[in-house]
Amino acid sequence: MGKKLLQSHSIFPTLNIEQTAAYYSQYLGFQVVPYLDTEEPHICLYRDDTEIILTHSQGQRVIPNRELYGYGYDAYFITKQQEQLEKEFEAAGVNIVRALANTDYNNKEFVIEDVDGRWIAFGIKE
């Protein structure tokens, strides 16, 4: 029987949907597709096989998992191109909070902080 789960899409509420979309486009290379004139306004961000959906947070600031729970990332994107992606993000001026390294849970990953304070990891199981 084939795989039942194929992909995952992250949903990021944000105070300023346009500002967050601009950041992901300019610094992380995502394509921006707005759906702001819909019943549930949102912006879709696309890069390769990854999609992020931005929604309005209705005035509530983004509270990253590490603040809410003491640790944890807000998203984890799987990639086999960690070195190239980290170099690309560094050149673009992205805030890399954890450089590429092997973790104690056998992943090779690096972590960035986005414009809203989220920590996002990019890696894969070794």
pLDDT band at 71 (very low <50, low <70, confident <90, very high): very high
3-class state of residue 77 by DSSP: strand
Q: How far apart are CA 78 and CA 50, in angstroms?
A: 9
**What fold is seen in the domain 71-126?**
3.30.720
Span 78-116, pLDDT tens digits: 999 999 999 999 999 999 999 999 999 999 999 999 999
pLDDT > 70 in the chain, percent = 100
| Residue among 8, 14, 60, 10 at smallest CA distance from 41 | 14
Task: Tell the CATH superfamily of the 9-58 domain.
Answer: 2,3-Dihydroxybiphenyl 1,2-Dioxygenase, domain 1 (3.10.180.10)
Q: How far apart are CA 124 and CA 108, in angstroms?
A: 6
Sorted by where each begins, the domain ranges of the chain are 9-58, 71-126
86, 96 Cβ separation under 8 angstroms: yes
* pTM of the model as a whole: 0.94
